[in-house]
Amino acid sequence: MSSVKLRHFRLDDAPRLADLANNIKIAVNLRDGFPHPYSLADAENFIKMCMDQNPTQAFAIEYNGEYVGNIGLHPETDVYRKSAEIGYFLGEPYWGKGIMTQAVKQMVEYGFANLDIVRIHTGIFEYNTASQRVLEKCGFKKEAVFEKAIFKNNRLWNEVRYALLKDDK
């Protein structure tokens, strides 16, 4: 049985979320919309937003009964409405344990079963090789490299695009 499970957020997750997310090693791998420093108010606002989603699109990741990170699917709109972008983060003390691979597999199953989508995709910063390995272990295919598509920390980086189709999982 998996020691990793996805669950709905609880308001009492906020202090732990703020503690884990307030880490520059996490912030450098995420979009600028992810605050750094990451405050308790940021955590509370994020959790309240997630709790209002219907259907649920973002979940807390639990490992051995402990909150360790977040994962979500963000459905696209207009002509992209059959696609969703996956995003996630894991607290640094839990890196390298296979937790995110299990969480991504569970999120993919949930997304294809509960959201009206046929494609899940994401773009990874070129230097985040751990995230690229997670996606590859979960069956995602590298579709493209968008050269100099990301501007993070005053530098241009390539974005590595991955996707998984419902029919391919």
Q: Is the pLDDT of residue 2 over 70?
A: no
Taking only the tens place, the pLDDT of each residue in 49-108 is 999 998 899 999 999 999 999 999 999 999 999 999 999 999 999 999 999 999 999 999
Provide the pLDDT confidence category of residue 163 given band limits of 50, 70 and 90: very high
In this structure, which topology does domain 4-122 adopt according to CATH?
Answer: Aminopeptidase (3.40.630)
132/20 Cα distance (integer angstroms): 21
Taking only the tens place, the pLDDT of each residue in 111-141 is 999 999 999 999 999 999 999 999 999 999 9
So what's the pLDDT on residue 98? 95
100/61 Cα distance (integer angstroms): 9
**What's the pTM?**
0.94
